[in-house]
Amino acid sequence: MLPTIALVALLGFAYMQIKGQAFRGAAVKDAISKTEGSCKGRAFAQIGGPFNLVNQDNQPVSEKSFIGRPALIYFGYTMCPDVCPTSLSLMGASIEELRNVNPALADKIQPILITIDPTRDTPHLLKQYVASGGFPRGLIGLTGSEAQVTAVAKAYKVGYRKVLAPQSAANYTMDHTSIMYLLDSSGKLATFFSDNTSPSEIAQCINSLGQSGL
């Protein structure tokens, strides 16, 4: 099993987006290497937990709202210049790859974006964003208060921080962990994927996990 320190390094700091680039330290590379090629060995009980947010229709949502179907979760924000759109497109492509081999399972998966920028990402803005072309079908956007977002990010070991960008029209950007989490139908972590995993690898992993119940 991956040591706790390595796990925290991987999911707390592994994929902080520094000036649009994925940053990895030595400890992170070591942590990744210990789980590479073993998608069934990443169901860490320390990751995940209850949350209370609202969706793009401003309706209350909790972790219980998704019980009964697997979910793919990504933490990002709507004004993210490149990493988030790329990762959400990867999520969509992975589900479509899965659809080619296991359409029933692909149809069950609920894609979810949880913002780490609740100040700007209102339900109205999220509703426009999740409907963007190239993103997964049926993508749900979740936001909430600063405290609510902090709590769910902490539960999933997601690191993020505001970076002032006075020369930018956006005024600031967000450095953040870039990991895609797969939850099983009971809401527990089944595995996770880095953003350099291919759609076919992700689809193969999900399909494999689905054979034993997801």
Grouped pLDDT means (10 residues each) for the chain, 214 residues: 43 42 37 56 86 98 96 96 94 97 97 97 97 91 98 95 85 92 96 92 95 88
Task: Please check whether residue 47 lies inside any domain of the structure.
Answer: no
Task: Please check whether residue 6 lies inside any domain of the structure.
Answer: no
Q: What angle do CA 13, 15, 21 make, to 5 degrees?
A: 130
Task: Please check whether residue 4 lies inside any domain of the structure.
Answer: no
Task: Please check whether residue 127 lies inside any domain of the structure.
Answer: yes
Of 115, 105, 111, 116, residue with least CA distance to 139? 111
Q: What's the whole-model pTM score?
A: 0.85
Q: CATH no. for residue 166?
A: 3.40.30.10
The residue range of the domain holding 156 is 52-211
Taking only the tens place, the pLDDT of each residue in 34-72 is 445 567 778 888 899 999 999 999 999 999 999 999 999
What six digits make up the tokens of 63?
């972790």
Task: Please check whether residue 17 lies inside any domain of the structure.
Answer: no
Task: Please check whether residue 8 lies inside any domain of the structure.
Answer: no
CA atoms within 13 A on the CB side of 18: 8
Domain total for the chain? 1
Q: What angle do CA 77, 8, 2 make, to 5 degrees?
A: 125
* Helices of type H across the chain: 4-8, 26-35, 83-101, 103-108, 123-130, 146-155, 199-211
SS3 per-residue string spanning 22-47: ECCCHHHHHHHHHHCCCHHHCCCCCC
Task: Please check whether residue 75 lies inside any domain of the structure.
Answer: yes
